[in-house]
């Protein structure tokens, strides 16, 4: 009988440190991108009508749907396949995958750009009964190939464990450029279509800067060295990625169907109202998506070496960290949605508070179970992901059809909550069946219990006393301090937590020596 191989702690610590360093950079970039995105939406909401803001929201949803379709699943598949073959030391395969991804996505994006341009009138008039949407979609269709190339370039660098290009060009450059053009449009008093032209220019310019960045790196020489046929690699990449595009598309339907169905059943100002709550709720999984960026390529390399136990432990430690990092934003949005909506969007949007609270629960549940879908993708179970996404999307559409006519935006929020919970339960169950990977350790359950008690305490306090805006930072500080102290007292930290803390400390260049020593005493 062959003895079972012990778990390799050095691989776990090294992988967690890489993820932690990358997550810190991606988190900063993501927050910057989201903040800039919020600023864009606030500017549009405040300087244009609620109807025009609703049109912008609808157009943005449709544009993203076409963009994701045009990637053919390569946005995720490329990163996984590059990392997988890097783990096997097959650099010829890595090179072929890289070039194949660029060529396929470029052709597909041009085709989908033409489809969006030619069908914009049908989509606008026949489906959404919104004439202003027609010109908006035609303008945005021009930028589609450029936006898709940004996504594919980012995926390629992701496969090589490089995070900075994503922050530079996807998160910051594109959003800063849009805001600058948007300010000019508002200052000149241009009509609503000026906003759409500003978005078009920002995408084209960012893609051009990204391409110039690639041409000025050794990475470009790596691509030019390809001399052999790679048709078989194209087929392999497509066969792996196509189920992903269906899954991603279905997830988009699940994410955006509320907006589309509200656009069908309600008027544009209701769509605008709901889209004040949705981007706020999507802040909740920011830490999770930041960790996911490097998690996929690093765990793909481990899987290529059959290190399942190490993958399991990384999953558990990372999920606990992400959950703890997410608690502050969830507590604010769930407990004080009215304050947040009024502060960011104005008094006209506070009626979306219940919808925001419901959506916050759904996104927090996704964070609570961890990166189950991406781990299934790493294991090659793309067809199962497609199936679960289909079930969740159908659930969302059916519930939207039933609930929106009765409960309006609250019905849409309940539909999304139900769909997100269903998808995550199915994915987590399958992941456990295949690999015994799950997030639940005793040191993870304790922070969950602590957070529930603290949230309930603040909710009871807020229900009995009038809470002013200035009190929110104070309550948040008390919550975080109590949370940290209780984690220490219940000894909810692991050795791997300290390793991750060291990695984060190095990445941001700040000495947390006192905190580090304190953690060491309570492990």
DSSP string for 56-97? HHHHHHHHHHHHHHHHTTHHHHHHHHHHHHHHTT-HHHHHHH
Domain locations in the chain as residue ranges = 13-228, 300-440
Contacts (Cβ under 8 Å, ≥6 apart) of 249: 65, 68, 69
Q: How many helices (H) and strands (E) does the chain have?
A: 22, 0
133 closest CA partner among 59, 61, 47: 59
Task: Give the Å distances, CA to CA, from 510 to 54, 392, 514.
Answer: 43, 43, 12
Instruction: Please give the pLDDT value at position 432.
Output: 94
**Spatial distance between the Cα atoms of 445 and 246, rounded to a whole number of angstroms:** 34
pLDDT value of residue 3: 42
206-211 long-range contacts, CB within 8 A, separation 24+: 206/146, 206/150, 206/169, 206/170, 206/173, 206/174, 206/177, 207/146, 207/147, 207/149, 207/150, 208/146, 209/169, 209/173, 210/149, 210/150, 210/153, 210/165, 210/168, 210/169, 210/173, 211/149, 211/153
Helix boundaries (H) for 122-192: 132-159, 164-165, 174-187
pLDDT at 506 (0 to 100): 61
Q: Which letter does DSSP use for residue 350 in this model? A: G
Kindly list the averaged pLDDT for each block of 10 residues, start to end, along the chain of length 523: 57 76 77 82 82 83 86 83 82 82 89 92 83 87 92 88 85 90 90 89 92 74 54 73 74 72 72 82 85 84 85 89 87 87 82 90 90 88 87 88 86 89 92 91 87 85 73 80 82 71 60 59 57
CA distances from 28 to 273, 371, 401 (A): 28, 20, 38
Residue 245: CB atoms within 10 A of its CB come to: 23
Longest dimension (CA), the chain: 78
Cα-Cα end-to-end distance for the chain: 36
What phi and psi values does residue 227 have, to the nearest 5 degrees?
A: -120, -15
User: What is residue 516's predicted lDDT score, i.e. its pLDDT?
Assistant: 58
Residues 63, 68, 70, 71, CA torsion sign: positive
**367-380 tens-digit pLDDT:** 899 889 889 988 88
Count the helix, strand and coil residues of the chain and give each as a percent rounded to the nearest 5: 85, 0, 15
SS3 for 130? Answer: coil
What DSSP state is assigned to residue 397? H
Does residue 38 contact residue 279 with C-beta atoms inside 8 Å? yes
Residue pair 116/140 in contact by the 8 Å Cβ criterion: yes
Residues 488 and 485: their CA atoms lie apart, in Å, by 5
- Helix ranges restricted to H, 470-509: 471-489, 495-508
In this prediction the pTM is: 0.75
Which residue, among 380, 300, 377, has the nearest Cα to 84 in the 3D structure?
300
Triad 434, 417, 289: Cα angle to 5°: 60
Q: At what angle do helices 308-335 and 471-489 cross, to 10 degrees?
A: 150
Among 487, 502, 479, CA closest to 443: 487
């Amino acid at each position: 009988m062959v003895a079972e191989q012990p778990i390799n702690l050095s691989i776990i610590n090294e992988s967690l440190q890489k993820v932690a360093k990358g997550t810190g950079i991606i988190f900063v970039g993501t927050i910057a991108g989201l903040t800039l995105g919020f600023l864009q939406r606030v500017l549009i909401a405040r300087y244009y009508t609620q109807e025009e803001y609703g049109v912008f929201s609808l157009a943005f949803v449709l544009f993203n749907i076409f963009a994701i379709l045009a990637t053919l699943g390569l946005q995720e598949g490329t990163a996984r396949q590059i990392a997988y073959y890097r783990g096997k030391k097959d650099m010829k395969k890595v090179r072929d995958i890289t070039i194949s991804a660029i060529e396929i996505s470029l052709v597909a994006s041009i085709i989908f750009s033409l489809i969006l341009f030619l069908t914009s009138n049908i989509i606008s008039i026949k489906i959404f009964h919104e004439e202003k949407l027609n010109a908006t979609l035609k303008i945005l269709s021009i930028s589609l190939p450029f936006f898709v190339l940004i996504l594919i370039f980012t995926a390629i660098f992701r496969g090589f464990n490089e995070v900075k290009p994503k922050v530079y060009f996807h998160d910051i450059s594109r959003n800063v450029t849009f805001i600058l053009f948007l300010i000019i449009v508002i200052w000149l008093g241009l009509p609503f279509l000026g906003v759409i032209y500003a978005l078009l220019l920002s995408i084209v310019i960012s893609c051009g800067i990204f391409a110039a960045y690639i041409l000025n790196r050794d990475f470009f020489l790596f691509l030019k060295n390809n001399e052999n046929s790679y048709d078989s690699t194209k087929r392999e990449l497509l066969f792996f990625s196509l189920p992903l595009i269906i899954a991603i598309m279905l997830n988009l339907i699940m994410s955006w169907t509320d907006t589309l169905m509200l656009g069908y059943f309600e008027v544009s100002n209701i769509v605008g109202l709901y889209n004040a709550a949705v981007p706020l709720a999507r802040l909740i999984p920011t830490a999770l998506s930041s960790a996911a960026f490097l998690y996929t390529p690093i765990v793909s390399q481990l899987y290529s070496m059959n290190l399942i136990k190490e993958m399991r432990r990384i999953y558990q430690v990372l999920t606990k960290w992400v959950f703890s990092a997410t608690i502050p934003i969830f507590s604010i949005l769930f407990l004080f949605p009215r304050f947040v909506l009024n502060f960011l969007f104005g008094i006209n949007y506070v009626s979306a508070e219940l919808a925001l609270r419901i959506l916050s629960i759904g996104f927090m549940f996704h964070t609570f179970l961890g990166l189950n879908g991406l781990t299934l993708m790493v294991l090659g179970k793309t067809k199962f992901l497609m199936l679960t996404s289909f079930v969740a999307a159908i659930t969302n559409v059916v519930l939207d059809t039933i609930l929106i006519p009765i409960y309006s935006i609250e019905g849409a929020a309940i539909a999304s909550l139900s769909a997100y919970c269903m998808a995550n339960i199915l994915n987590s169950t399958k992941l456990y069946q295949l690999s015994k990977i799950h997030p639940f350790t005793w040191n993870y359950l304790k922070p969950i219990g602590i957070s529930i008690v603290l949230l309930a305490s603040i909710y009871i306090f807020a229900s009995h006393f009038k809470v002013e805006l200035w009190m929110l930072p104070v309550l948040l500080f008390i919550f975080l301090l109590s949370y940290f102290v209780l984690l220490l007292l219940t000894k909810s930290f692991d050795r791997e937590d300290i390793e991750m803390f060291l990695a984060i400390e190095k990445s941001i260049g700040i000495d947390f020596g006192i905190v580090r020593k304190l953690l060491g005493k309570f492990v």
